[in-house]
Structure 1
């Protein structure tokens, strides 16, 4: 708790996630932050243009945020920041946090460089906000405005196994776990199990469990650190022990040279992908592994990274995975072992928040912009809570609708899943997916909130020419390519507008067999495989591009910070219209106008709704 002397001194006792000592100016916010797409790993600038800290630099600061949110690649960004000395000297969270903490653990375990990471309770977190901009000290579990005992160092380095005692806590080890720790299966597996066990301690897990498959997000090139990490594991003899798929990488492997990508970047990103395939992972290179034939079944225990994939697996497939940070994913793949906690366990899949959505009277007016916008809105309301959503029972969302909803939800929420009553597989009724009723809150969504989210995603106030139509974040499915072809058929694209679609190699092959690729390329669509929009920069985005339109809530959020361009959001049909006319009219869809017209809104849910 906080204590203050007559001189208004600061003294807080926290809970240590990663031990260390540090001193720096406090940068504090009560809003969660995604480091991927939210912090520049080369400069330390906060580039999430929707965040209250946008434009600030975290180098040499003590950063205090409630938790991370969004992408699992935040661990990779933090590793790069620490290795190039652009990161914070310490981090304070309000809640237990996995993604950024794992980045620090990897920096310590693999590179001998770390910073202190602590959690403090909600009351203390509110109090520490008042110290924003002032210098504070961290020493072990103590946070104060004055040095404790001795001058702290900028980073705490750990170089030998003797100096890095493994905090096993109460984690029960199997014979296989012990063999990994003893190095009987090689040094790569030994390093991997150490990382897993340190994360298990943070999670409060008392044992490890087997998983049937892994989806690795750490193949994204965040900088030299991500490459050194993967190549070190490979060179130590690392081989995956369970089927392992790979997320989108930072380049289109087959086309990056002709696309004009910088050779140093392209070669480094290619080496990173090769390091993972050398360890036995499949070159699937998709951020939508649920579209693959290998997608897990209901109840299957897996270890997936990539925020939208995690949310989809848990929520839509009914498989079980935590929101695994980059680097923890490959550690689990090398051992087949994961902490038994989080959404792997029934208790941690229950909702603690009920969100009641106003019902649109004329369901026929709903287009595909509805689901990403709603996901974005609900993600903001459920910043860290698993929500149970009511009011959509009359709808029949497709897999792609739920993909769009989940991706936008995962962009602004740290929760690993959602339930939509009557739609997602575990939510057959409200009662079966909510936790103890005394701990559950209920929020009624006001129709006007739809408009607020629409304006957030349409972040440019200018009515200007569209230069680029961005589609496929997450990766386009075969059904979406088919729909795009039907919308473009008989139309003529404006010559000044680029239309680009990202999808997996698998989907691209199926679409080519169906004749859609040739048809869309004739219209003027360019396809990229292997990579996705959160990794695409110049020259694939032409330097002359000023304004981009997308149907992705996820990319509409991250895009302004990642690209520096103006962004617009709309339905797929609106994107095609902009491609043909060179301008986005910004007309709000009929369902949105209806939602904000009180005469068109009815509520099918009564107060105190039950299952």
Structure 2
């Protein structure tokens, strides 16, 4: 690899032993990627702050011992548990202390304890064309697609090395040619698909991920008024079903107009496929008992909380069904301080911070379905939690929470 003066200085320890160690690891990583040189990044988002075992702590501790500090603004992804509500945790109790240790180590390295999978909702957002090193699948696909910034797929440990050096190999989705579409999908409209709007984007994301695993698709026919929460849902579901890291949507996403599509194979996604996607993620029968409704995968935005407040207004939750919403600390604080969200408190909504309920077990009832509006949750929840999960519209989720059993579709 061609190393610039800053790369050689980092390797030589001129910026500290921790940066030298991180750079040495990145050189090996870049060589494996076939990169010819390094580039600078403007920010990083760390997924390795989620406790998976002793190696998580060992890795961060080593850089703390070496006196490391991040060289670019760096945010933290979700943790394994909501440490502010330890009484809600239904998993191994020792994880709370282990997660607190891991978070503290990252803070010592200079990371901001945002503990959210959606830092793009409230924090400073990468600009179009800006190179960053972000981990967490939904964050990667959102900033690549919706914001037009550039990050490759960074995972645990590589993300922290990038933050400690401010450098990454010029590889993957940092490169122009890697961002060009490999397939064009013609989508059915919402009306033709015959799906409620809040299921349509999850369905499209699920099918696109399955049909174009790990490649860049160009989408034609997505509603031109698609908002960020809907694009977030599409990307997160596609990242779950097929490692989607970037999509272009004609007339919607910022790079779409610049993408070469001539000669790219075009395929149609049929209404039958989107309907089948929803059916596969919603294996529930009317009248089945509902243990909980879990929302906020990815983390809920202020707009989503406003929609939820309107939906639960003047309604009453069954005591047999819990309702949990995952979000960031910042958005949770804003909701807590605003009387406009009093309907949520009246309905008995629990707001989970720092984690996500498809990772951290909080549902106390050990039997019954978990309902969600998230395609990502419906995809991962059964494997992560060992529970049956069903994807539904928000309205149907809340009607089910009122009675404690699965409501009929509208």
TM-score, length basis structure 2 = 0.95
The match for 1:267 is 97
Give distance in 2, aligned partners of 1:360 and 1:512. 35
Match of 2:247 among 413, 418, 421: 418
Matched length: 410
Q: Is the 8 A contact 1:388 1:434 kept in 2?
A: no
Give distance in 1, aligned partners of 2:269 and 2:149. 29
Return the offset for 1:575: 1.1
Report Cα offsets for 1:546-571 as digits up to 9, x if no partner.
Answer: 31000000010001111111111111
Instruction: Name the SS of the counterpart of 1:311 in structure 2.
Output: helix
Structure with the higher helix share, 1 or 2: 2
Structural RMSD (CA):
1.9
> Which residues of 2 match residues 452-531 of structure 1 at below 5 A?
452-460=276-284, 464-531=288-355
Match of 1:573 among 372, 377, 395: 395
Return the offset for 1:457: 0.7
Q: Is 1:297 aligned to residue 130 of structure 2?
A: no
Q: Is the 8 A contact 1:363 1:395 kept in 2?
A: no
Give distance in 2, aligned partners of 1:371 and 1:535. 23
Q: Is 1:281 aligned to residue 103 of structure 2?
A: no
Give distance in 1, aligned partners of 2:163 and 2:289. 46
Q: Is the 8 A contact 1:257 1:263 kept in 2?
A: no
The match for 2:407 is 585
> Which has the larger displacement, 252-261 or 367-376?
252-261
The match for 1:535 is 359
CA 337–373 in structure 1, closer or farther in 2 if over 3 Å, else same = same
- Give the number of the structure whose alpha-carbon radius of gyration is greater: 1
Q: Is the 8 A contact 2:90 2:364 kept in 1?
A: no
Give distance in 2, aligned partners of 1:495 and 1:543. 11
The match for 1:310 is 140
The match for 2:377 is 555
> Which residues of 2 match residues 119-134 of structure 1 at below 5 A?
none
Instruction: Name the SS of the counterpart of 1:474 in structure 2.
Output: coil
Give distance in 2, aligned partners of 1:376 and 1:195. 34
CA 461–577 in structure 1, closer or farther in 2 if over 3 Å, else same = closer
Match of 1:230 among 60, 68, 71: 60
The match for 2:176 is 346
- Structure 2 unmatched ranges of 5 or more: none
Give distance in 2, aligned partners of 1:459 and 1:190. 51
Return the offset for 1:576: 1.0
CA 482–361 in structure 1, closer or farther in 2 if over 3 Å, else same = closer
Give distance in 1, aligned partners of 2:408 and 2:27. 50
Match of 2:71 among 235, 238, 241: 241
Return the offset for 1:427: 1.1
Report Cα offsets for 1:224-249 as digits up to 9, x if no partner.
Answer: 11111111111121110110010011
> Which residues of 2 match residues 81-160 of structure 1 at below 5 A?
none
Q: Is 1:333 aligned to residue 163 of structure 2?
A: yes
CA 423–174 in structure 1, closer or farther in 2 if over 3 Å, else same = same
The match for 1:197 is 27
Give distance in 1, aligned partners of 2:80 and 2:370. 20
Match of 2:211 among 369, 378, 381: 381
Q: Is the 8 A contact 1:550 1:575 kept in 2?
A: yes
Return the offset for 1:574: 1.4
Q: Is 1:175 aligned to residue 175 of structure 2?
A: no
Match of 1:407 among 236, 247, 262: 236
The match for 1:434 is 260
Return the offset for 1:261: 5.6
Return the offset for 1:260: 6.1
Give distance in 2, aligned partners of 1:558 and 1:505. 23
Q: Is 1:397 aligned to residue 236 of structure 2?
A: no
CA 324–258 in structure 1, closer or farther in 2 if over 3 Å, else same = closer
Give distance in 2, aligned partners of 1:460 and 1:403. 25
Instruction: Name the SS of the counterpart of 1:468 in structure 2.
Output: strand
Instruction: Name the SS of the counterpart of 1:376 in structure 2.
Output: helix
The match for 1:323 is 153
Give distance in 1, aligned partners of 2:100 and 2:67. 20
Instruction: Name the SS of the counterpart of 2:86 in structure 1.
Output: coil
Return the offset for 1:367: 2.2
- Structure 1 unmatched ranges of 5 or more: 1-170, 590-611
TM-score, length basis structure 1 = 0.65
Report Cα offsets for 1:373-420 as digits up to 9, x if no partner.
Answer: 11111111111210001112x441111001111100110222420011
